[in-house]
Amino acid sequence: MSVQSVDRALEILSLFSTTSPRLGITDISKAMGLPKPTVHGLVRTLTSHGFLAQDPESKKYSLGLKIHEMGTILAGSLRINQVGGSPAQMLTRSTGLATRLGIWDQQAVLVTLLLFPDTVNVLYHHIGPRIQAYCSSLGKAILAYLPQQEVEDYLGKHPLTPITTTTITNREDLLKDLESTRVRGYALDREECISGMSCIGAPIFNYAGAPVGSISISGPPDQVLGDRTAALARELLLTAQQISSFMGWRPGEAAKAALVTAPRSRVK
């Protein structure tokens, strides 16, 4: 049995996002369909405990530092980050591209770790922390290895809304793309999520062989797609295989065929 005040407080926190980082009492009241006095009491309590913070000038609210503190604790306790942090750092150094680790959560990818190369010569776009699966390499790398029924369930609940001019919006085209992902072992994002950024993603498996997460490298299309793709994908697959093994995965013959085993070398 749920507690109404707790439900409402959690709903208030869930209203904040990268597109709506600051909200006023009126905004929250309209979004929740609650009277302003009720909202004000809930917000005041959340603020007193550090879960919300009020801007003294605009009087609007944003997520408080307590949320950041708890998020940091969670990120550090996630096994995929614990075992994948070092390999991800090596991948960033060897490719010179941004690396993201993510987990499959509520039919989307939640980015748990983001690493940038030491020398950033381009503006990296902010995405996440929750990323749509159908238009990202992180998501497609997972979708490609989910049971067919789970993919059908996903497609039934998530319309393929165009985000950029290259987003795959046709069901059959997406299924073909997922099949290609399984054949080569990695997914491609051809500016489907953000214009000016392309990615290569690979699945991360747990001890049972289920795709519980993924890892990607990203950058401008001319640095990711084309002549470098094969070499970059090779580095990515080696890293994904290493992290999966740390997660307890022991690949079968079919999975082995999608991965490579070769000495790691810096991608030129």
The reported pLDDT for the residue numbered 1 is 64
Tell me what pLDDT residue 188 has: 97
Higher pLDDT, 251 or 190: 190
- Please state the φ and ψ torsions of residue 144, each to the nearest 5 degrees: -65, -25
Q: What angle do CA 62, 66, 70 make, to 5 degrees?
A: 120
Q: Mean pLDDT throughout 183-190?
A: 96
Taking a C-beta distance cutoff of 8 angstroms, is the pair 94, 115 a contact? no
Q: What is the pLDDT of residue 27?
A: 95
pTM: 0.78
- pLDDT for the residue numbered 165: 96
R_g of the chain, CA atoms, integer Å:
20
Over residues 38-64, mean pLDDT: 94
**What is the predicted pLDDT for the residue at 255?**
47
pLDDT at 100: 95
**Confidence label for 77 from pLDDT (cuts 50, 70 and 90):** confident
Helix, coil or strand: residue 35: coil
Q: How confident is the model over 217-232, as pLDDT tens digits?
A: 999 999 999 999 999 9
Look at residue 170 and tell me whether its pLDDT is greater than 60: yes
pLDDT attached to residue 74: 78
pLDDT, tens digit, for every residue of 197-207?
999 999 999 99
| Closest CA relative to residue 185, chosen from 135, 222, 235 | 235
pLDDT of the residue at 65: 87
Residue 59 makes CB contacts below 8 A (sequence gap 6+) with 24
CB neighbour burial string for 4-35, b if at least 16 within 10 angstroms, e if fewer: eeeebbeebeeebeeeeeebbbeebbeeeebe
